[in-house]
């Protein structure tokens, strides 16, 4: 499969701080940043009365004229975008780094496929969108199953 084709494959992309570090993520903070982009953005915090109130947040975000669904968690800390290709994931990663994550804390990533294959989280490169897409494509290739 060619890199251009791999970049179009859809999976869940998961973004987290490096092990042992924190972004100081809060649902209120993330919701505020999402609403800065679009005041009508879908945002719901799950406070279903489980052992941890507000344990997860779901949200919508529009990137490149495409509506995506995302999830956020405080424990473990991270943000995911569902059914996403490498191009949209790179755009999301840049938005996350520039608007949500503190400047001195890196952004790590994995995919649903990488997690299933026990791949370690990988640093999102501090680079342009095309270079981030290339890193995501390499990761997807490492997950196997493309033959």
Is position 134 within any domain?
yes
Is position 55 within any domain?
yes
Position 144 confidence tier, pLDDT thresholds 50, 70, 90: confident
- The span from the first CA to the last CA of the chain, in angstroms, equals 7
* pLDDT one-digit tens code per residue, 94-114: 999 999 999 999 999 999 999
Pairing relationship of beta strands 108-111 and 77-84 according to DSSP bridges: unpaired
Position 41 confidence tier, pLDDT thresholds 50, 70, 90: confident
Instruction: Take residue 110 and report the two structure tokens written for it.
Output: 């994995």
* pLDDT one-digit tens code per residue, 59-70: 999 998 999 999
Is position 146 within any domain?
no
Overall domain count for the chain: 1
Is position 147 within any domain?
no
145 has a pLDDT exceeding 90: no
Is position 122 within any domain?
yes
3-class secondary-structure state, position 100: coil
Position 45 confidence tier, pLDDT thresholds 50, 70, 90: confident
Position 47 confidence tier, pLDDT thresholds 50, 70, 90: low
Q: What is the residue range of 93's domain?
A: 3-141
Q: Find where tokens 């890193």 sit.
A: 135
Pairing relationship of beta strands 56-63 and 122-123 according to DSSP bridges: unpaired
């Amino acid at each position: 499969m060619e890199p251009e084709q791999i970049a179009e494959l859809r999976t869940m992309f998961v973004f987290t701080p490096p092990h042992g570090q924190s972004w100081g993520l809060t649902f209120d903070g993330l919701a505020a940043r999402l609403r800065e982009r679009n005041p009508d953005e879908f945002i719901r915090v799950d406070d279903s009365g489980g052992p941890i109130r507000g344990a997860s947040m779901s949200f919508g975000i529009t990137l490149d004229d495409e509506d995506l669904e995302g999830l956020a968690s405080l424990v473990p800390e991270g943000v995911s975008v569902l059914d996403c290709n490498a191009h949209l994931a790179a755009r999301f990663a840049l938005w996350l780094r520039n608007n949500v994550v503190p400047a001195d804390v890196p952004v790590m990533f994995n995919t649903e496929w990488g997690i299933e294959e026990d791949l370690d989280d990988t640093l999102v490169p501090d680079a342009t969108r095309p270079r981030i897409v290339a890193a995501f494509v390499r990761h997807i290739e490492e997950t196997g199953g493309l033959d």
